[in-house]
Copies of this chain bind each other. A is one copy, B any other.
Amino acid sequence: MQQVTIVGLGLIGASLGLALKQLKNPPRVVGHDLQYDAATRASKLKAVDKVERYLPDAVVGSDLVIVATPVGAIPDLFARMAESLSEGCVVTDTGSTKREILLKAQELLPSRVAFVGGHPMTGRQTSGVDAPKASLFQNSVYCLVPSPTAPTDAVDTMVKLVQQIGASAYFVDAAEHDGLVAGVSHLPYLLSTALVRSLAAGPGWREMSAVAAGGFEIATRLAGHDPKMFADILATNGDNVVMQLDRLVEQLECFRNELVAERPDLFKELEQGQKHRLEWEAQRRRAAEKL
């Protein structure tokens, strides 16, 4: 790859730029972001070689175009860059939902380019501002969702990129992807927000917020994330999130009944929950060691 364009220079976009610039033979990286601050920060960090404020000029001549903006902005960007994309260019994104994006890519991108959707399973760990870093993708899973028309070498390009930044490629189709992340990513965010909303609207919030400590801090951390980004995500994955939400509410009703009846089954359920969580931790550690 001679030249890569990154559209959207937030945490993910700027971190991808830094990771690319650390490769042995780094490509030229062109960045584009309508937010002056994000573009300036990426320049200063040397995550991009050049900032180009006019989108068509930013993508011209690039072998790879990475769209790393909130999901809701992606279709419009596809439309606006379409005419300027070079023959054989690979286009990818980092959006948190994939069905809508794949459809829009087929509809809006020209047939001379290949679309391979992507979703790095990483991101903000704090509720504050995380600084971009080249190591963000180390030991993480990177979902790849190739368009049905994408040729093998375009897919290979993405697999190689994923490996080079230290991540592990995970192939999945768009429908399955959206089902999986509804459970492990979108529902947790909604839950965290529901918890804050429910407590803050209830009696005793003033006193509760005074005594709230570690458990509350963890349980509501996701609620501190960008609501605009999540509104986009939920708007393109509502059906899956509702399905997961219904299952969760059923589980909560089950806990409720056990609490009211003071049934010892509750302890077994708590024990099972701990077991699943600890197993997941162990599995994650093993996967990271293998990489």
- A residues contacting B by CB (< 8 A) are 121-125, 127, 140-141, 143, 170, 172, 176, 179-181, 183-185, 187-202, 204, 207-216, 218-228, 230-231, 234-235, 238, 241-242, 244-253, 255-256, 259-260, 262, 266-267, 269-274, 276-278, 280-281, 283-284, 287
Contact = CB atoms under 8 A, between A and B. Distances in A.
Copies per complex of this chain: 2
A277 to B, nearest CB: 4
Contacts of A181: 211
Contacts of A188: 195, 215-216, 218-220
A143 B213 contact: no
Given A188-B218, A230-B270, A245-B252, A141 B213 contact: yes
B274 A223 contact: yes
SS class, residues of chain A in contact with chain B: helix
Central interface residue in A121, A225, A231, A280, by most chain B CB within 10 Å? A280
Given A187-B195, A223-B277, A246-B256, 20 more contacts: A123-B213, A176-B207, A180-B204, A184-B212, A185-B212, A185-B215, A185-B216, A191-B219, A194-B248, A194-B273, A196-B280, A197-B251, A201-B251, A202-B244, A210-B287, A216-B280, A223-B273, A226-B274, A231-B266, A245-B256
